[in-house]
Structure 1
Amino acid sequence: MTLDQTVSPTLDTAPWWTSAVVYQVYPRSFADSDGDGVGDLNGITSRLEHLERLGVDVIWLSPVYASPQADNGYDIADYQAIDPLFGTLEDFDRLVAEAHARGMKLVMDLVVNHTSDEHPWFVESRSSKHNPKRDWYWWRRPREGFEAGQPGAEPTNWQSYFSGPTWTLDEATGEYYLHLFAPRQPDLNWENPEVRQEVYSMMRWWLDRGVDGFRMDVISLISKDPALPDGATTGAGGLGDGFPHFSNGPRVHEFLQEMHREVFDGRSGDLLTVGETPGVTWADARLFTDPARRELDMVFQFDHVCLDHGPGGKFDLRPLDLRDLKASMGRWQEELSEVGWNSLYWCNHDQPRVVSRFGDDGEHWRESATAWATVLHLHRGTPYVYQGEELGMTNAPFAGVHEMRDIESLNHYAEAIAAGGDPESVLRGLRTMGRDNARTPVQWDASPQAGFTTGQPWLAVNPNHTWLNAAAQYDDPRSVFNHYRKLIELRHALPVIAHGDFRMLLADHPHLYAYERTLNDDRLLVVANLSGTPHTAALDGDWSAVDLLLSNVDEPSIVNGRISMEPWSAHVFRKR
């Protein structure tokens, strides 16, 4: 079928990124050009044909800055240098030029809530209580009535994202510094205008070098309540939940508006800014992404990827109830329909593989991978494809914690076992939800190490690469890769996908996910069976005369408003 290429008036004035698709590259696991077992910039450049074939518009590059790699590059020691692990600035410039030559933009990961403890700013800051950069980070004396180093002496009771307290004692000065993540990731003090100006100068430097924007890591955490109050006690050892005091803080919108003025005003409208915003609601997101406020283009929010977390957090597993997911996704579609913009994703470097998490990575691997892709990509918002997702890559079969590398998983295991947790139960949570699942090397072919490296990979390649790989999928019209390619083509071709109204159907059905998209006289129906059991969908409205745009199984039919859905089947119809 030939798609109608007519461009609607809505599309004429809409930002380019509303109909774009972004692809996230996690450099250390994408492609290794020099055989040291770690992916690098030249490896990415060598695989740009893959991304061009897929049809994506933007590459989001996870951090490649100089770093001691305590958190795989999210601990930055020099914002204006490339880590030798990944190559050189010349390699980076070549990657940008090659991406641009193929019609793709490149977005950097901006990590400015915190730095590495090896960053010169922090080295100076901790050198003396009187150093001019002391106030560039959050330093506090021990809690009143306690000696430095005593249990409970930390200035607040906040618990870190990576286990333990958010405060570490610097013995040389007798004060504690704040780190919401690992102790080697001290938080910058955005209250200090000198800090902000240094960040803005660095951002301008990268834009002048040809970068097309930034994905801003945990950007909603940069404004803390300066009073630093204790949080409600939730964890072992009296640790508490500081999240209400450091997320979406009192000056976050002021800081982002200032950033926009200082960095982006007067530049091309072809740039992209997306903020990772843990804990924000749809109401917050409207503020962050309302074009009139000049803050961000879109947000990453976490509502939908927390629905299978139990009371104990992400490693406390509970089954996903599809009705909860539809309620969350539908609400975000509704509330951002007039103002604001959302990112669409199942996977990234912090999330497990969707086909293993929510799908069936066994008997119905291909069908469930493509069903979840279909459901996501036809929503309003900008879709993000995480490397390997377009191949249907699965979680890894880790034999034990000794095969894992992620600091979050290793810290959680040590803490849970020390608290008396059952090792197998703890491992089950890590195997299902651990971040290493997303970080196994991309599976390019069936050769040793999956074509990722000629050396020993930093993290083991998934053994299923012998059949699950890019080379096996390129020429297979039914492959996961080609299904993603067709979804991207649809978004580029049909304005109704980027700009149409959204209406959730079958909201109370526990296994079927269905919705309509409408723009003027153009109507799409998306319906998927997200289970291993056949179901029949009874559809609202007149869908008797339709064209099938895309399906992941044999061609279905609609008879008297009812459609028979095979296990893990997904279909996209267009009203004639």
Structure 2
Amino acid sequence: MSFSVTPKRAPSGRASGFRWPAVDKCDIHGLSFRQGIALNLACAGHSPCPHPLLGRARRTNGATLHARQQPGPAPEWWRNAVIYQVYPRSFADADGDGTGDLAGVRERLPYLAALGVDALWFTPWYRSPQADGGYDVADYREIDPALGTLADAEALIADALALGIRTIVDVVPNHVSSAHAWFQEALAAPPGHPARGRFWFHDGKDGGRRMPTAWTSSFGGDTWTRTAGPDGEPGQWYLHLFTPEQPDLNWNHPDVVAEHEAVLRFWYDRGVAGIRIDSAALIAKDPDLPEVGEHHEPGTHPHLDRDELHDVYRGWRKVADSYGGDRLLVGEVWLEDIDRFVRYLRDDEMHMAFNFDFMTRPWDAAALAESIRATLDAHARVGAPPTWVLSNHDVTRPVTRYGREDTSFSFAAKRFGTPTDLALGARRARAAALLTAALPGVLYVYQGDELGLPEVEDLPEGARRDPMHFRSGGTDPGRDGCRVPLPWTAAGDTCGFNTTGAPPWLPQPAGWGSRAADLQEADPDSFLNLYRTAIRLRRTEPALRTGDFAWTEAAPGTLAFRRGADLTCVVNFGDAPADLPAHTEALLASAPLDRDANGGGRLPGDAAAWLRN
């Protein structure tokens, strides 16, 4: 199937503002295409189509015009979506000042469309002093000036949707920036003033000299900071589970509830398809401020996973549902108890949450199989799609992590100087990409993982920005190493991150250009083309879209499962090659296969393959 449509033109020569008629519909995305460009959509004989547009917008009258798509009637686009995480400061720098920006993302939308993703999740792009990479929000209704303007955000949302790509934005309900107007008002107010009720201001112990509790910060160190009165005398303390620049909000206060629901509406009104909820399990606190003990009954911990916080997310779900069935809530929920975890995914709360159990497991067949089983079973109980993710802006990149003796991840274990075999890590990361892409549910990809980027571990001390590093006294490398700006081209001082040569806000290491996107596009065996092919097959193979899941027999050290009636994923976690089943066709493999005349063969160590029976 293919079609070409040329829109009517307004007298000015620009596309007129009327509502374009739907000319076709993507069966997978549930989107009707409404034209604002001369568009050619080729489905290569497939129905449904591999992906709309794929960057095929063409120039008309000397200007690049934009197709527009409006959500069609098909709900729940997100159940088997591929969602790409964008860390804007490190993605692409259009204005050449060394910091990535929204205009840079707009310029690279054809790359993202060619990758085949369904949505972009942006880490916070709001006005912020950047004490914690934008997770210290000063104003949700303004874009940080380093990234652009509200108009830039609206244009990016629209342009992405024109390519069949939805937008998800981050909301950080646990805290705001200390520069937020509410907190500045609270600091200027006396103890007991209503403005302080939006936060956790408390008198200290022993006449105010000691902190109200001995809770420890997620970033290390104390969770309370003492204020000073107008006369300079020490005053009350305020709570911050992260940094002092991130004061915690009091979710018992009606202003806090109302403001966040208004923020959701502000961004839904601007066309975003979803909200990612940061630190979702931390927002409720016990007002009696007890100390953290060795054991707490479920739902009663002083500041983690308290039962009352679910009322907040039920309210948010009502807001999302009021916009139609395609609006999404995604939770960042770090909990070890999977039964407590899936409570956030009941049908009146979030649509999905990140599966950190899988992400933190070691490269081991038994460990990952156990996680997959538990994940699928728990999500089936609540009817929510599981999610699969290998990394994000907080954790060590898989190419580095999987090249170490300890291939699991924990924040507490991060240290400088850990020996790493990057070649081994790359082989395992390629196999892990095929494993996650073959599982039922939602696939998340962090920017740069599709290029096989390693963690940058040799950043100069003076270049580091992450508060986790500084609050550890310098023993924790922090998270800067997974946030280094992307290499787009092999040539150039900044590997194509910008065209001015302005030094990136985090320095790129020597040899970064050897991993550049332009080189990988020309290499059929590259990380990038492996990801592109896997995502395309997820879309075009019915077994991967909607097929059931069943474990199949596997040799020790391997993992195998079937999707649908005819597709099998095999992963070899060992060093030695493993036998492949006979009479199969290889659809995709992370490493070259040794095939035999019977359609079987051998799968190398630390490799994965998709086979058609």
Partner residue, 1:333: 376
SS of 1:384's partner is strand
Label 1:508 to 1:142 Cα distance change in 2 as closer, same or farther (>3 A): farther
User: Aligned equivalents of 1:493 and 1:337: distance in 2?
Assistant: 24
Deviations 1:178-206 (A, max 9, x none): 11100110111111122101110111011
How far 1:466 moved relative to its partner? 2.5
Label 1:322 to 1:554 Cα distance change in 2 as closer, same or farther (>3 A): closer
Partner amino acid for 1:478?
D
2:427 pairs with 1:367: yes
Label 1:478 to 1:224 Cα distance change in 2 as closer, same or farther (>3 A): same
The match for 1:452 among 480, 497, 501 is 497
SS of 2:120's partner is strand
How far 1:165 moved relative to its partner? 1.2
2:199 pairs with 1:137: yes
Partner amino acid for 1:564?
R
2:560 pairs with 1:515: yes
How far 1:304 moved relative to its partner? 3.0
The match for 2:445 among 371, 382, 385 is 385
Partner amino acid for 1:215?
R
Q: How does 1:14-25 map to 2 (within 5 A)?
A: 15-25=76-86
The match for 2:467 among 395, 398, 407 is 407
User: Aligned equivalents of 1:4 and 1:44: distance in 2?
Assistant: 29
How far 1:133 moved relative to its partner? 1.9
Question: Does the Cα contact within 8 Å between 1:65 and 1:73 map onto a contact in 2?
Answer: yes
Question: Does the Cα contact within 8 Å between 1:361 and 1:368 map onto a contact in 2?
Answer: no
Q: Unpaired segments of 5 or more residues in structure 2?
A: 1-43, 50-72, 404-419
Label 1:297 to 1:559 Cα distance change in 2 as closer, same or farther (>3 A): farther
Partner amino acid for 1:302?
F
User: Aligned equivalents of 1:203 and 1:34: distance in 2?
Assistant: 29
2:366 pairs with 1:303: no
2:220 pairs with 1:163: yes
User: Aligned equivalents of 2:387 and 2:431: distance in 1?
Assistant: 19
The match for 1:195 among 235, 256, 270 is 256
Which structure dedicates a bigger proportion of its chain to helix? 1
Larger RCO (alpha carbons 8 Å, 6+ apart)? 1
Partner amino acid for 1:253?
H
Deviations 1:120-153 (A, max 9, x none): 011112222243221101122112xx132x4xx1
Partner residue, 2:312: 255
User: Aligned equivalents of 1:88 and 1:213: distance in 2?
Assistant: 20
Partner residue, 1:530: 573
Partner residue, 2:67: none
SS of 1:38's partner is coil
Partner amino acid for 2:376?
Q
How far 1:506 moved relative to its partner? 6.7
User: Aligned equivalents of 2:94 and 2:289: distance in 1?
Assistant: 46
Partner residue, 1:47: 108
User: Aligned equivalents of 1:301 and 1:184: distance in 2?
Assistant: 28
User: Aligned equivalents of 1:40 and 1:492: distance in 2?
Assistant: 30
2:382 pairs with 1:347: no
Say which is worse superposed, 476-485 or 296-305, in terms of deviation. Answer: 296-305
How far 1:461 moved relative to its partner? 0.8
SS of 2:302's partner is helix
How far 1:363 moved relative to its partner? 3.5
The match for 2:151 among 90, 102, 108 is 90
Say which is worse superposed, 548-557 or 116-125, in terms of deviation. Answer: 548-557
The match for 2:538 among 491, 515, 527 is 491
How far 1:104 moved relative to its partner? 0.6
Report how many aligned residue pairs link the two structures: 519
Label 1:274 to 1:97 Cα distance change in 2 as closer, same or farther (>3 A): same
How far 1:230 moved relative to its partner? 0.4
Q: Unpaired segments of 5 or more residues in structure 1?
A: 235-241, 309-319, 415-425
How far 1:400 moved relative to its partner? 5.3
Q: How does 1:172-321 map to 2 (within 5 A)?
A: 172=229, 174-232=235-293, 244-261=301-318, 263-279=319-335, 281-291=337-347, 294-307=348-361, 321=364
User: Aligned equivalents of 1:39 and 1:13: distance in 2?
Assistant: 34
Q: How does 1:24-35 map to 2 (within 5 A)?
A: 24-35=85-96
How far 1:40 moved relative to its partner? 0.6
Question: Does the Cα contact within 8 Å between 1:326 and 1:507 map onto a contact in 2?
Answer: no
How far 1:243 moved relative to its partner? 10
SS of 1:325's partner is helix
SS of 2:568's partner is strand
SS of 1:573's partner is strand
How far 1:6 moved relative to its partner? 7.9
Question: Does the Cα contact within 8 Å between 1:372 and 1:530 map onto a contact in 2?
Answer: no
Label 1:96 to 1:296 Cα distance change in 2 as closer, same or farther (>3 A): same
Label 1:337 to 1:34 Cα distance change in 2 as closer, same or farther (>3 A): same
How far 1:252 moved relative to its partner? 1.7
SS of 1:516's partner is strand
2:162 pairs with 1:124: no
SS of 1:336's partner is helix
How far 1:275 moved relative to its partner? 0.5
Label 1:461 to 1:399 Cα distance change in 2 as closer, same or farther (>3 A): closer
SS of 1:376's partner is helix
User: Aligned equivalents of 1:342 and 1:441: distance in 2?
Assistant: 30
Q: Percent identity?
A: 36
Label 1:188 to 1:563 Cα distance change in 2 as closer, same or farther (>3 A): farther
Partner amino acid for 1:524?
L
User: Aligned equivalents of 1:462 and 1:283: distance in 2?
Assistant: 43
Deviations 1:81-137 (A, max 9, x none): 011111111111111111111111011111111000110011112222243221101
How far 1:60 moved relative to its partner? 0.5
User: Aligned equivalents of 2:473 and 2:596: distance in 1?
Assistant: 50
SS of 1:385's partner is strand
| Aligned CA-pair RMSD | 2.7
SS of 1:352's partner is coil
User: Aligned equivalents of 1:181 and 1:569: distance in 2?
Assistant: 39
How far 1:567 moved relative to its partner? 3.0
Partner amino acid for 1:389?
D
Normalised by the size of structure 1, how large is the TM-score?
0.84
SS of 2:211's partner is coil
Deviations 1:462-521 (A, max 9, x none): 323221110001122211111101111122123433443334457894x43x231343xx
How far 1:574 moved relative to its partner? 2.0
Normalised by the size of structure 2, how large is the TM-score?
0.79
Partner residue, 1:315: none
SS of 2:218's partner is coil
Moved over 6 A (4+): 558-562
User: Aligned equivalents of 1:76 and 1:142: distance in 2?
Assistant: 27
Question: Does the Cα contact within 8 Å between 2:177 and 2:246 map onto a contact in 1?
Answer: yes
Deviations 1:14-43 (A, max 9, x none): 721122100000011001112211101111
